Chain A
Amino acid sequence: MSTLSELLRRVNRVPGVKGSMLVAAEDGLVVEADLMIGVPGPALAALVASLFNRARRSLSGARLGEPTFLQVEAEGGILFAAAPERLGDLLLVVAAEAWVNVGLVRLEAARVVGALP
């Protein structure tokens, strides 16, 4: 099992997480994915990357810096995208149920990314 897929597997252990992916920030293409059946990986990757890039442009334009974390809450679930330096130009994208413990997902993601070689 690769380091990247191990990273996703550990994030997916958090109750309520429906899957996670590593996505190229530039073009929204999936690099690695571990998703529950029914989660549309490519569409999720493209849409979240697009939103992240828009956020990047708007926050930079307002001199608020480059985004490192994005969280979209909706009635039926939550999407996360994290861009830690250690992942280079990749985004860690997580899809979760609305009732997920947000703090736990973030903590696990940060812990796993921090442990990357």
Chain B
Amino acid sequence: MNRPEHLQQMRRWSEEVARDPASLSFLPLADAYRASGRADVALRLVLRGLEHHSENVDAHVLLARLYHERGDLLRAMDEWGIVLRLEPERVEARRALALALYAQGNAAAAVPQLERALQLLPADAELIQALQGARAALQAAAPPARAASEAPPIAAPAPPELDGLLALPERGVLGAVLLDAGGRVLAGELAVEGEDRSAELAAALRGASDDAALAARHLGLGAWTSILLETPQATVHLSPLPEAMLAVAGERGVPPGWLVRQARRLRTAAARWLGAEEGV
């Protein structure tokens, strides 16, 4: 398509979107704006389009690309996570999420994601290099003692109490994950259907603490102390920590009261562990 035809096509899409805000023309129009360097316009169009088509995978893909190009890695990861939920076999999303986790410095979460991406794209040089880098970072972070001047480890081993809980599968515990304020996994894992889902959970839970704090503050309830979530498959308990959050998940059959008690015990252990980390 030559330039005049292209501009004419963009005008047609633009008119369709103006006439009908629910029109799917927002997608090629936004993509065209992105290609022409107008990322700000593209972003507005996609966000508006998603209000009418929240399950449109291609729109989430485009949004993830736009966020990534703006350098907003966390939002991009959030969108890649949504894409994978809607279309688990979307190779681009699997690859992008794995590389984003690695770029973010979260080697512990990146390794399993990179391994999964490499199953789909075994010859991808960037993935291979990232996996090597992530494994090396994990190995480098392994020694427990380090000088105070060194940067904190990318991923630390879980506190013993987290390991202890994970070792109780007979109680129906799916896992316990310690997340930082940026939605990164600091420790622990969450096994669903045999796979670690902690990275997906962490990325999407980013902001949940702020939402809860905002709701509690707005209603004059003070600080939030816990969130309990139930689905037909699982019960998840979230509790706040300084600059972090603890998520503990159990199968639905696990009594919520028992899960809450375990979560409180783990929260105390995690707070102690975080304090010790800060003191290194």
Counted as pairs of residues, one from A and one from B, with CB atoms less than 8 Å apart, the total is 131
Contact of A50 with B by CB under 8 A: yes
Contact of B156 with A by CB under 8 A: no
Instruction: Count how many chain B residues have C-beta atoms less than 8 Å from C-beta atoms of the other chain.
Output: 41
A64 in complex: contacting residue of B207, B214, B218, B236, CB < 8 Å: B236
B201 and A74 contact, CB distance less than 8 A: no
A60 and B219 contact, CB distance less than 8 A: no
A sample of 7 more A-B contacts (CB under 8 A), given A61-B200, A79-B221, is A51-B227, A64-B236, A67-B229, A70-B228, A73-B224, A74-B219, A77-B221
B232 and A68 contact, CB distance less than 8 A: yes
A51 and B231 contact, CB distance less than 8 A: no
A58 and B218 contact, CB distance less than 8 A: no
Residue of A50, A51, A60, A76 most packed against chain B (CB within 10 A) = A51
CA distance A60 to B82 in the complex (A): 9
A28 to chain B, nearest CB (A): 11
Interface residues of A (CB under 8 A from B): 39-40, 43-44, 47-48, 50-51, 54-55, 57-77, 79, 95
B78 to chain A, nearest CB (A): 8
CA distance A64 to B223 in the complex (A): 27
* Contact A66:B219 (CB < 8 A) given known A50-B211, A51-B211, A58-B208: no
Q: Mark B201-239, 1 if CB is under 8 A from A, else 0.
A: 101110110011011101111111111111111101000
A59 and B236 contact, CB distance less than 8 A: yes
Q: List chain A residues, Cβ under 8 A from B193.
A: 63
* Contact A76:B221 (CB < 8 A) given known A57-B82, A60-B85: yes
Interface residues of B, dominant DSSP: mixed
Q: List chain A residues, Cβ under 8 A from B231.
A: 59, 64-68
Residue of B85, B224, B230 most packed against chain A (CB within 10 A) = B230
CA distance A91 to B232 in the complex (A): 16
B251 to chain A, nearest CB (A): 10
B225 and A74 contact, CB distance less than 8 A: yes
